[in-house]
Amino acid sequence: MTQNRQIHLDNRPQGEAVAGNFKLVSAETPALQDGEVLVRHHFLSLDPYMRGRMNDAKSYAQPQPLGQVMQGGTAGEVVESRSPKYQPGDKVVGFGGWQEYSVVNADQPGALKKVDTTHVPLSHYLGAVGMPGVTAWYGLVKIIEPKAGQTLAVSAASGAVGSAFGALARARGCRVVGIAGGADKCNYVTKELGFDACVDYKQHKDAASLSKALKEAAPDGIDGYFENVGGMVMDAVMLRMNAFSSIALCGMIAGYDGQPVPMTYPQLILTNRMKVQGFIVSEHMEVWPDALKELGTLVGSGKLRPRESIAQGIESAPEAFLGLLKGRNFGKQLVKLV
């Protein structure tokens, strides 16, 4: 039995999520049963979708239960095994939640996956070569279906999904315009990630102003857009979208706290004959192998150099998560536990 610190959801947000919604709890790991392994988490993944699950609302996933460990992706190392499938020392990714250790039934399909850290650092399996990367891949390849020479755009461009989207789009011969908050992020998006342009939405106080800046960054209009944010940013991009363009709708951070954020110009979907499609990457497991292979190659070859914001220690998870929702992270937000 090992001391295992955990973060529970203690109560649901009233509007904006706050630190008081979470609670640090100490427990002991249970003794392993046959077929189980004990995983020590090296990294926790913090992702915007978690905010949606904190509400007690109908959504694609069950709400995060109260009084239980916050759910989420993890990368770590097997430290004890009663399964022939895993040996201590195996590097694995799973869905262990906001805690230092998890006990996993190794026979449950998809619960754990061994990963090779020779060319790809362990943490990237929670980002560019994990769920966020596959999310970008699905939206780009299956919804936007880009053609070489088209102009694509992505919000939260410096983040885990946005940076992968940029690399995948560039590899397909597209012009890519990022939208990010602040000069530092925009510099990173163009200089390090190789986007063709980046617009700092914080310099614009309404959709009309942001849309004008997008017109300069995308003089031929926008053919495909990957939406991570919603609200004003989405309105501004919609004003610049071309006929027969597509929006892959993956996140709407703007609407997670309380009141829904309307779409101001839905008639553009009609006048521009657009397709707007929402998706959840976990429902498309069939694409993961192809997507992960391409993403692993991009990272391994240095064409995608994802940035990470790393908080230290389990106790830092709530504040790091709240910062993520406000865009304070820079790249993939992780918590390092070891």
Contact residues for a second copy (CB under 8 A)?
Answer: 52, 58-60, 230, 234, 243, 249-252, 255, 260-267, 269-280, 283
Separation CA 145–CA 237 (nearest Å): 18
We find the least distance from the C-beta atom of residue 63 to a second copy, in angstroms, to be 12
Separation CA 45–CA 98 (nearest Å): 9
Q: Which is nearer to a second copy, 59 or 87 (CB)?
A: 59
Question: What three-state secondary structure class fits 291?
Answer: helix
Whether the CB-CB separation of 214 and 222 falls below 8 Å is answered with yes
Tell me which residue has tokens 């690399």: 167
Q: Which is nearer to a second copy, 249 or 324 (CB)?
A: 249
We find the least distance from the C-beta atom of residue 297 to a second copy, in angstroms, to be 29
We find the least distance from the C-beta atom of residue 83 to a second copy, in angstroms, to be 34
User: Following DSSP, what letter does each residue of 210-221 receive, concatenated?
Assistant: HHHHHHHH-TT-
Q: Which is nearer to a second copy, 187 or 264 (CB)?
A: 264
Residue 141 per-residue DSSP state: I
Question: What three-state secondary structure class fits 222?
Answer: strand
Question: What three-state secondary structure class fits 186?
Answer: helix
Locate 225 and state its tokens.
């857009």
We find the least distance from the C-beta atom of residue 202 to a second copy, in angstroms, to be 22
Give the chain's end-to-end CA distance (angstroms, integer): 18
We find the least distance from the C-beta atom of residue 153 to a second copy, in angstroms, to be 17
We find the least distance from the C-beta atom of residue 52 to a second copy, in angstroms, to be 8
Q: Which is nearer to a second copy, 93 or 281 (CB)?
A: 281
Question: What three-state secondary structure class fits 315?
Answer: helix
Q: Which is nearer to a second copy, 173 or 262 (CB)?
A: 262
We find the least distance from the C-beta atom of residue 279 to a second copy, in angstroms, to be 5
Q: Which is nearer to a second copy, 75 or 237 (CB)?
A: 237
Q: Which is nearer to a second copy, 276 or 337 (CB)?
A: 276
Q: What angle do CA 239, 173, 116 make, to 5 degrees?
A: 110
Separation CA 63–CA 197 (nearest Å): 38
Residue 63 CA from chain centroid, whole number: 18
Whether the CB-CB separation of 327 and 122 falls below 8 Å is answered with no
